Amino acid sequence: NRALLILLACCVAGAAHAAPSVTVEGVSGDIRDNVLALLSIQGAIREGQTETHVLERLHRRAEDDIRTALQPFGYYTPIIDARFIEVRGEARARYRIELGPRTRIERVGITPSGDGAEDPRVAALIERFPLKSGDPLLHSRYEQGKTQLSAALFG
């Protein structure tokens, strides 16, 4: 009986499907983390979604998800090779990303008007604005500078 039980347990374990997987290649660090965070298919797998038809549908959205994830880092024209396969009941998605050229700031021009035009705090913030000509367009740095200026003008 014990041998039959062990054999039965092995058969059941062997019949179980492996968890779906997502592989992202060509990016690392914060960029990779953002891609994984915004990939709908990755989110569904984290939540336990394993139905192939659902994962295939989410895979079709992956290129848009990836493009959205890259934009805050200044990458607007990536080349994405997206593949979805099912092998013996296991769904696998693979995304190879070539970032392409990074968008750079050509010119920064901030001209205050009204009461703020004469405020030395505003002038100092404009001088220290976190984006300069030639810098890569990083949305987080733009938002940081905008928030600091708004606080000085309206705070």
**pTM above the 0.85 mark?**
no
Percent of the chain with pLDDT over 70: 88
Question: What pLDDT digit, counting tens, does each position of 111-155 carry?
Answer: 888 877 788 888 888 888 899 999 999 999 999 988 988 887 776
DSSP string spanning the chain?
Answer: -HHHHHHHHHHHHHHSPPPPEEEEES--HHHHHHHHHH-HHHHHHHTT---HHHHHHHHHTHHHHHHHHHGGGTB-S-EEEEEEEEETTEEEEEEEEE--PBPB---------GGGGG-HHHHHHHHT-S--TTSB--HHHHHHHHHHHHHHHH-
pLDDT at site 38 = 97
Question: What pLDDT digit, counting tens, does each position of 95-104 carry?
Answer: 999 999 999 9
pLDDT at site 9 = 44
